[in-house]
Structure 1
C-alpha cells in the first residue's frame, strides 16, 4: 500500500475513535465481531499454539481464544498506536500476551504456528498484487496454518477505504499454497473466512 493509502486507513479509524471500541475498529456491532471470531476458530484447535494476529485492533481476539483454548502464546500487531495502547491497557495483563506497534505490511513477520488476519486485508490498494503478497507472506511465516477473513465483493458495495474480494479468485490463489484450503461463508452476509493448513 502507498503512504497515502495508509494515511487514509489511519484517518478512517481515528475518525471513529470517539465512538465505541467496535465502531473504531469498523465493526457494525458486537454480534458481527463474535461471528467473525467464531468463524476463525473453525480452523481447529489452537491450544498450545503461538498466534500472530495481524491488525489486532484492541486485542479482543485474545480473551476470546483464551475462553476456548489452553496455553496460547499471542502476539498482536497493529499500525495504529491508539489501538495498541488500548489493547495493552485492556488485555496486556493476560498470560503469554504481547502487543506491538508496527506496520506488518512492510515489517518482517515472526515465525509462529498460526497467522490470523481479521479484517486487516480489506483495505483498498492500487497495488493489485497486495492481497496475494500478504497471503503468501502469512503462509511463509506460519508453521501450522493461516486463517483470515475478507469482505465478499458480490455483497459489499463500493467504499473509499474498504474493498471486497471474489471468493473464487481468493480460493484459487490460496489452493496454490494449500490444496485443501477451505472457505466459510455462511456466518455473515458480506464476509467470508479462509482456512489454510500445513500438513
Structure 2
C-alpha cells in the first residue's frame, strides 16, 4: 500500500497554469500531437539524453517511482527497457498530454497515470521522484522553485532527481533558467548528499538529492 504526503500550503496560480496550458496548445499546433517538440523539447534526442541521466539516480528495479509532470509518459517507456520491475506513477495536469500517456503506456505492468498539479496535489510517497522539464516554466512566485524542490524531496524515501536549464532563450517567453550554483546551494541545505551533473548537454543540468 502506498502512503501519501500532506500537500504543501502553496499552489501554482491560475495565470501561471493558464500560461502552461497555452504554451503546450501552441506547441501541439506547431509540431503535432504526441511529439517531443510539443512538450517543449528541442527534439526527441534531447529528451532521451535527459532521461538517460535521470535514470542513473539508482537501481530502480523493485522500487516505486513518481514522474512529476509526466507529459506523454515517455519516461515510463524509457525506464521499462532499463528497469522492467518498477512501480510507476505519472502525474500530469494537462488532459491532452495525459490522454496520450495513458494510450501509450498504461498497459505496462505496475503503471498508473493520474491527472493533477504536482505542486498542490496530494502525492503518493514513493522511493524515487523523477522530474524532467516540468520546472522550466516562469512562475509568478519567485520562491516557487525552492518550495517545490523541498516538497518533492520530502515526498520520496530514497532520492529526488530533476533537471533545469542554465540558460533559456528570452524569445521563448515562458521558459525560465536558474543559476546552477543557486539551486545547488539550496539543495545542499536540504540534503547532505547531492550529485550534480552538467556534462551531458549545453545549458542543462541535473541534480540528485538523496536521503
- Range into which the TM-score falls when normalised by the shorter chain: over 0.9
**Structure 2 partner of 1:179:** 192
CA distance in 1 between partners of 2:123 and 2:184 (Å): 23
Unaligned segments of structure 1, at least 5 residues: none
CA distance in 1 between partners of 2:23 and 2:140 (Å): 17
Q: Residue by residue, what CA displacement relative to the aligned partner does 1:117-162 show, whole Å, maximum 9, x if unpaired?
A: 100011101211101110111011101110000011xx32324211
**Structure 2 partner of 1:73:** 87
CA distance in 2 between partners of 1:195 and 1:100 (Å): 24
- Aligned Cα root-mean-square deviation (Å): 1.1
2:133 to 112, 119, 128: 119
CA distance in 2 between partners of 1:131 and 1:109 (Å): 18
Number of aligned residue pairs: 196
**Structure 1 partner of 2:13:** 2
CA distance in 2 between partners of 1:67 and 1:123 (Å): 29
**Structure 2 partner of 1:12:** 23
TM-score scaled by structure 2? Answer: 0.90
CA distance in 2 between partners of 1:29 and 1:157 (Å): 16
TM-score scaled by structure 1? Answer: 0.95
Q: CA deviation at 1:42?
A: 2.1
CA distance in 2 between partners of 1:37 and 1:51 (Å): 14
Q: CA deviation at 1:196?
A: 1.1
2:146 to 132, 141, 153: 132
